[in-house]
Amino acid sequence: MKPRLHKLLSTSGRRYLVIGVGIYLLELVVIVVAQWFGASAVVAVGLSFWIALIVSFSLQKLVAFGDKRMHHKILLPQIIAYSLLVLFNFGFTIFVTKLLSDTVPAVVTRTLALAITTIWNFYLYKTRIFKSNNNPVY
């Protein structure tokens, strides 16, 4: 079991995907529960997006990309860049949900938007947001 787990988590891409699947499952639960309490598809997807965001930032930074730098000179720009990307992703997600909500369930629209944003997120996290240099400021 340990060798398989180690192999599964051996690269940042694999860790990114494992964390992403966990976050996706969290989002699905939030969507279903929110709609059970009477929320619309747009509200349920929006709520799931923001809850998952808080958990995702921490896990992607610390676990997926191994970026343990916590100095404000590093963390603040990362939070700003991540927040701008999140706002863009949020707008894209709501756009997709609004566009397709009359024809497909909210879970499907969120899944579609998530699949698309996952690709550009990984690239930006790895090359821009959580990229370490050889002389980090701690």
What pLDDT, on the 0 to 100 scale, is given for residue 28?
A: 93
Contact 34, 44 (CB under 8 A): yes
Element (H, E) at 123: helix 106-124
What pLDDT, on the 0 to 100 scale, is given for residue 138?
A: 36
In this prediction, residues 107-121 reach a mean pLDDT of 91
Q: How far is CA 29 from CA 24, 51, 92, in A?
A: 9, 11, 21
Q: Which residues contact 110 (CB under 8 A, 6 or more apart)?
A: 27, 28, 31, 45, 48, 49, 93, 97
Q: Is the pLDDT of residue 102 over 60?
A: yes
Q: Is the pLDDT of residue 124 over 60?
A: yes
What pLDDT, on the 0 to 100 scale, is given for residue 127?
A: 92
Average pLDDT for the chain: 88
In this prediction, residues 107-122 reach a mean pLDDT of 92
In this prediction, residues 96-125 reach a mean pLDDT of 92
Confidence of residue 1 (pLDDT cuts 50, 70, 90): low
User: What proportion of the chain, given as a percentage, has pLDDT over 90?
Assistant: 60
What pLDDT, on the 0 to 100 scale, is given for residue 136?
A: 43
Contact 106, 99 (CB under 8 A): no
Token representation of residue 109 = 């629209």
What pLDDT, on the 0 to 100 scale, is given for residue 8?
A: 67
Q: Is the pLDDT of residue 41 over 50?
A: yes
**pLDDT tens digits, one per residue of 47-84:** 998 899 889 999 999 999 989 888 999 999 999 999 99
Token representation of residue 44 = 């349920």
DSSP 68-106: ----HHHHHHHHHHHHHHHHHHHHHHHHHHHHHTTTS-H
- The ranges assigned to domains in the chain are 2-129
